[in-house]
């Protein structure tokens, strides 16, 4: 038995100091631990966890900037389920999320396969695909807003191709899709890199065995490589899904939620209610709904993880 394993046998399975030492030492350790986390924990309690709880409380009040809060029970929630604009924003959030998921994941996988090519200079390709990820988001959104001006290059080109009056970003029918594409180009590099490292992690022996057994290229890809990287698939799916629910800045900069609410997601709607109309009670209900949605997604993720994903071992 090596000294290392002998030592680690003493520590409890969870990390932390070994459970020995006098009560006094244990108390000292506890005090030190509390002291170490105190600055962060205090701030989080006051500025994040407290407000999270308060948000749920405020959702039962009628409260605007100049008013004092009044308890109104479930009134805000009743209003919420009948509010066409809210239901609309729920639909927009759903479409936006679906669009991001479909486009981002398929593009990321495609890009990862390209990045995995053994070509001279392929690292330059990786750099280029990744660079929008580090580009400041407002600058990125503004360049696209410029490119998508009615008289700007994208619409001019489309009009040249015969699409009369093309105005992608400022027409209700195409605005949401356009925002999705801009957001995917910005962020797909990250998922692509994650897929790339998964592709590179597929053991070569397995691929060789498949080849010797006469598997074709497509077969190898769909029957071996894809199942092997399914944990990564799942990870990418979850982070992209939760990420899509959190998108605010590019939408706000590109369209402000318009035209005619076509890009008003839940967060945009919450911002409008809370900081446009300063209706704190109603904004909090919307926030509570989004919070519920995030909790639901997280719970679903844990449930699906066991059933859908192939793990080695």
Partner 1 sequence: MKSEAAALLPRGQTPARRGRPWALLLYLTLAVVCLPFLLPMLWMLASSFKTSGAIFGNPFSLGAADLRLANFTEVFTRYPFARQYLNSLYILLITVPVTLLLSSLAGYGFARLRFPGREFAFLLTLTAMMVPSELTAVPQFLIFKTLGLTNTHVPVIVLQVFSATGALAVFLMRQHFITLPRELDEAGRMDGLGYWGVFWYLLLPLSRPALATVAIFALLNSWNDYFNPLIYLNDEALMTLPLALQRFTDPLGGVFWNLTLAAGVLVALPVLAAFLLAQKQFIESLAASGTKG
Q: Which of 34, 87, 299, 300 binds partner 1 (CB under 8 A)?
A: 34
Of the candidate spans 89-97, 164-172, 268-276, 303-311, the one that interacts with partner 1 by CB under 8 A turns out to be: 268-276
For residue 139, with 0-12 CB atoms within 10 Å meaning exposed, 13-18 middle and 19 or more buried, which class applies? exposed
Does residue number 294 form part of the binding site for partner 1 (CB under 8 A)?
yes
Q: State how far the Cα of 69 lies from the Cα of 281, in Å rounded to an integer.
A: 8
When the beta carbons of 206 and 304 are compared against partner 1, the nearer one is: 206
Does residue number 77 form part of the binding site for partner 1 (CB under 8 A)?
no
Smallest gap, in angstroms, from Cβ of residue 18 to partner 1? 8
Q: State how far the Cα of 187 lies from the Cα of 181, in Å rounded to an integer.
A: 10
Smallest gap, in angstroms, from Cβ of residue 227 to partner 1? 15
Smallest gap, in angstroms, from Cβ of residue 98 to partner 1? 19
When the beta carbons of 101 and 290 are compared against partner 1, the nearer one is: 290
Q: What are phi and psi of 65, to 5 degrees?
A: -55, -45
Does residue number 50 form part of the binding site for partner 1 (CB under 8 A)?
yes
**In terms of Cα–Cα distance, which of 134, 130, 153 is closest to 143?**
153
Cβ within 8 Å of residue 52, ≥6 positions away: 291
Residue numbers 194-253 binding partner 1 by CB under 8 A: 194, 197, 204-205, 207-208, 211, 217, 220-221, 225, 235, 239, 242-243, 245-246, 248-249, 252-253
When the beta carbons of 89 and 191 are compared against partner 1, the nearer one is: 191
Dihedral sign, CA of 37, 39, 41, 42?
Answer: positive
Residue numbers 105-134 binding partner 1 by CB under 8 A: 111, 114, 116-120, 122, 125, 127-134
**Angle at alpha carbon of residue 87, lines to 245 and 172, rounded to 5°:** 80
When the beta carbons of 37 and 304 are compared against partner 1, the nearer one is: 37
Q: State how far the Cα of 8 lies from the Cα of 1, in Å rounded to an integer.
A: 11
Smallest gap, in angstroms, from Cβ of residue 262 to partner 1? 20
Local structure of 211: helix, strand or coil: helix
């Amino acid at each position: 038995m090596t000294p290392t394993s002998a030592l680690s046998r003493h520590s409890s399975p969870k990390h932390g100091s070994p459970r020995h030492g006098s009560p006094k030492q244990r108390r000292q350790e506890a005090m030190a631990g509390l002291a170490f986390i105190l600055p962060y924990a205090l701030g989080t309690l006051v500025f994040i966890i407290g407000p999270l709880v308060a948000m749920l409380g405020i959702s039962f009040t009628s409260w605007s900037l100049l008013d004092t809060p009044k308890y109104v029970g479930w009134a805000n929630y009743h209003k919420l389920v009948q509010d066409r604009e809210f239901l609309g924003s729920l639909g927009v959030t759903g479409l936006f999320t679906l669009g991001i998921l479909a486009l981002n994941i398929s593009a990321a996988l495609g890009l990862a396969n390209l990045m995995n090519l053994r070509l001279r200079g392929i690292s330059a390709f990786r750099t280029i695909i990744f660079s929008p990820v580090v580009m400041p988001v407002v600058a990125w959104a503004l360049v696209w807003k410029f490119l998508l001006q009615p008289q700007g290059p994208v619409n001019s080109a489309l009009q040249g191709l015969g699409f009369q009056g093309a105005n992608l970003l400022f027409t209700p029918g195409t605005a949401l899709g356009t925002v999705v594409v801009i957001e995917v180009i910005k962020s797909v590099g990250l998922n692509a890199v994650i897929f790339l490292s998964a592709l590179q992690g597929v053991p070569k022996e397995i691929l060789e065995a498949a080849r010797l057994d006469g598997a074709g290229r497509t077969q190898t890809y769909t029957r071996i490589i894809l199942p092997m990287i399914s944990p990564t698939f799942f990870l990418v799916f979850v982070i992209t899904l939760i990420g899509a629910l959190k998108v605010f800045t590019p939408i706000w900069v590109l369209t402000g939620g318009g035209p005619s609410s076509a890009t008003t997601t839940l967060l945009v709607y919450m911002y409008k209610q809370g900081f446009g109309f300063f209706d704190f009670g109603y904004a909090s209900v919307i926030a509570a709904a989004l919070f519920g949605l995030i909790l639901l997604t997280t719970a679903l993720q844990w449930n699906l993880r066991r059933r859908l994903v192939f793990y080695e071992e």
